[in-house]
């Protein structure tokens, strides 16, 4: 009996041990783990979906396949600051042009007086023998250098006032084009010389992008049109007023581009002087609509300036409505509309009312003097376009 009781007690003890160790052994069995997992997941379907998604993302990441993420939502840019910059830049451009015209006229008058006095003092003091001896004393290199300078001076004097004025603009555009080819300046060029309403720097590029071209063909085309029409626009407005219109048109056209990009959500960068050049072209064509124009490669084809302006506006309007991305059609339209508006109304509203500013500047430069206002004069742009 004692042995039997001991055997029964031992059997119960082993049964309890086997009951305690069975779950642990089953936890090590992958088959059981999968079954238990399926049972638990069947009771909680939400967790199943979550785990399945996590397993899919983990396996995709481990396999090296990028998981597609939803595109970030870009907030619509605010245009209040660029609008204020446009108004302020335009006002400063015309104010500086009025002061520059005053200083230019004053300098020309003083130069004429100095030349007259020097001619009177030089009469009879020197003869051709003096200059002949001076020339003979020069070396061959010095003579060639003087001849080269003389040829450059003759070429410069053969240019019109408008061509002389736009030469500086062309040189500045060429310098910016060279900067685009410097790798270390790429980041700064993208930041300051491309206009984009989604960029953090939005105001300064509105002016700088008007002198920026990345393509040589783009720059040559814009500068060629500006060179062709420079004589007419400068004779119409004067060089100071022309510079103010050109700079203002570049900023205004960029502001129109900002507005269209923000409205359509197509936030991409732009650059080039096309907006300012379109303002010059539109001003000439609207002021002289019957002037004959032609194509450089097709000289036999001629058309009027008014027809050319209408065709350009129609093309840019179609490009804007159809979403063409070859050019910034909104900037083209903004520049053209600004040019037409200025010769029709802007000259009367802005340039003819510059007299108080010129008088204030004259009083600051010459305190106590009461004379005529040197804001008007021949070739100074005081005549301007008439209506």
Burial 32-70 (b: 16+ CB within 10 A, else e): eeeeeeeeeeeeeeeeeeeeeeeeeeeeeeeeeeeeeee
Q: Of residues 274, 329, 347, 362, which has the active-site annotation?
A: 274
What CA–CA distance (Å, rounded) separates 181 from 223?
19
Q: What is the DSSP letter of 270?
A: B
User: What tokens were used for 384?
Assistant: 């301007």
**274 is a catalytic site residue:** yes
d(CA 208, CA 276): 12
Give one word for 272, left, alpha or beta, with left for phi > 0 and alpha for psi -120 to 50: left
DSSP code string of 60-113:
HHHHTPPPP-PPP-PPPPP-HHHHHHHHHHHHHHHHHHHHHHHHHHHHHHHHHH
> What is the full DSSP assignment across 153-207?
HHHHHHS-HHHHHHHHHHHHHHHHHHHHT-GGGHHHHHHHSSB-TTSS--SHHHH
Closest residue by Cα to residue 215 from 167, 176, 265, 157 = 176
Instruction: Please confirm, yes or no, whether 332 is among the known catalytic residues.
Output: yes
> Token pair of 175, please?
């310098």
Select which of 230, 253, 286, 332 is catalytic. Answer: 332
Q: Which residues are catalytic?
A: 274, 332
């Amino acid at each position: 009996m004692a042995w039997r009781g001991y055997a029964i007690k031992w059997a119960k003890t082993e049964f309890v041990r086997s009951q305690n160790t069975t779950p642990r052994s089953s936890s090590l069995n992958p088959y059981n783990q999968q079954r238990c997992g399926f049972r638990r997941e069947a009771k909680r379907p939400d967790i199943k979906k979550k785990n399945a998604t996590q397993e899919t993302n983990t396996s995709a990441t481990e396999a090296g396949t990028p998981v597609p993420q939803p595109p970030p939502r870009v907030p619509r840019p605010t245009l209040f600051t660029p609008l204020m910059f446009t108004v302020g830049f335009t006002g400063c451009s015309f104010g500086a042009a009025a002061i520059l015209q005053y200083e230019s006229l004053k300098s020309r008058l003083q130069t004429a007086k100095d030349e007259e006095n020097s001619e009177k003092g030089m009469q009879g003091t020197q003869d051709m023998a003096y200059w002949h001896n001076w020339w003979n004393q020069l070396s061959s290199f010095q003579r060639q250098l003087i001849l080269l300078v003389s040829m450059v001076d003759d070429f410069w004097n053969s240019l019109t006032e408008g061509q002389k004025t736009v030469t500086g603009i062309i040189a500045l555009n060429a310098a910016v084009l060279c900067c685009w080819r410097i790798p270390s300046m790429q980041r700064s060029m993208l930041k300051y010389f491309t206009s984009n309403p989604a960029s953090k720097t939005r105001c300064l590029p509105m002016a700088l992008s008007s002198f920026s071209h990345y393509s040589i063909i783009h720059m040559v085309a814009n500068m060629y049109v500006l060179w062709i029409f420079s004589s007419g626009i400068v004779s119409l407005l004067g060089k100071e007023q022309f510079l103010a219109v050109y700079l203002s048109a570049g900023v205004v056209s960029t502001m129109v581009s900002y507005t269209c990009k923000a409205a359509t959500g197509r936030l991409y960068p732009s650059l080039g002087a096309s907006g300012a050049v379109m303002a010059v072209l539109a001003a000439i064509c609207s002021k002289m609509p019957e002037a004959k124009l032609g194509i450089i490669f097709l000289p036999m084809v001629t058309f009027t300036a008014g027809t050319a302006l209408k065709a350009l506006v129609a093309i840019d309007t179609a490009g804007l409505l159809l979403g063409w991305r070859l050019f910034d059609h909104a900037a083209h339209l903004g520049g053209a509309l600004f040019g037409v508006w200025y010769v029709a109304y802007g000259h009367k509203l802005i340039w003819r009312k510059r007299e108080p500013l010129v008088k204030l500047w004259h009083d600051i430069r010459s305190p106590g003097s009461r004379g005529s206002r040197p804001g008007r004069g021949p070739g100074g742009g005081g005549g301007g376009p008439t209506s």
